[in-house]
Amino acid sequence: EDQVTQSPEALRLQEGESSSLNCSYTVSGLRGLFWYRQDPGKGPEFLFTLYSAGEEKEKERLKATLTKKESFLHITAPKPEDSATYLCAVQGVMNRDDKIIFGKGTRLHILP
């Protein structure tokens, strides 16, 4: 069965303090790994799709990387506006009906 585990559950950083969020996954053939940002009471905002090990994508202060077992979301010199819950999701080749499986998320709080 496909599984996604995100760590840590919550993370508090000072403004400017770089860090990484982890998404470990077990899937029988990866079709895609997705990162989303979600602010309280709002819908998830799409950030990145990664398809194969070694792939990297960047957007402003965020960089997502992928290995065969995990993905990292690196946050460089974060600002308070980067505070949000970051969700990782995977879609496996053997997933029934191509469902995506979400992790429980990492709640990130950037202190000014």
Partner 1 sequence: DTEVTQTPKHLVMGMTNKKSLKCEQHMGHRAMYWYKQKAKKPPELMFVYSYEKLSINESVPSRFSPECPNSSLLNLHLHALQPEDSALYLCASSQGLAGNEQYFGPGTRLTVT
| Contact residues: partner 1, CB under 8 A | 31-32, 34, 36, 41-46, 49, 51, 87, 91, 97-100, 102-105, 107
Beta carbon of residue 29, minimum distance to partner 1 (angstroms, whole number): 11
Selection from 68, 48, 69 nearest residue 58 by Cα: 48
Selection from 78, 94, 75, 83 nearest residue 26 by Cα: 94
Q: Which is nearer to partner 1, 83 or 91 (CB)?
A: 91
Q: Which is nearer to partner 1, 41 or 112 (CB)?
A: 41
Beta carbon of residue 66, minimum distance to partner 1 (angstroms, whole number): 14
9 with 103: CB under 8 angstroms?
Answer: no
Selection from 64, 66, 2 nearest residue 29 by Cα: 2
Beta carbon of residue 82, minimum distance to partner 1 (angstroms, whole number): 19
Report helix, strand and coil shares of the chain as percent, to nearest 5.
5, 60, 35
Q: Which is nearer to partner 1, 77 or 104 (CB)?
A: 104
40 with 26: CB under 8 angstroms?
Answer: no
Q: Which is nearer to partner 1, 16 or 109 (CB)?
A: 109
Beta carbon of residue 16, minimum distance to partner 1 (angstroms, whole number): 27
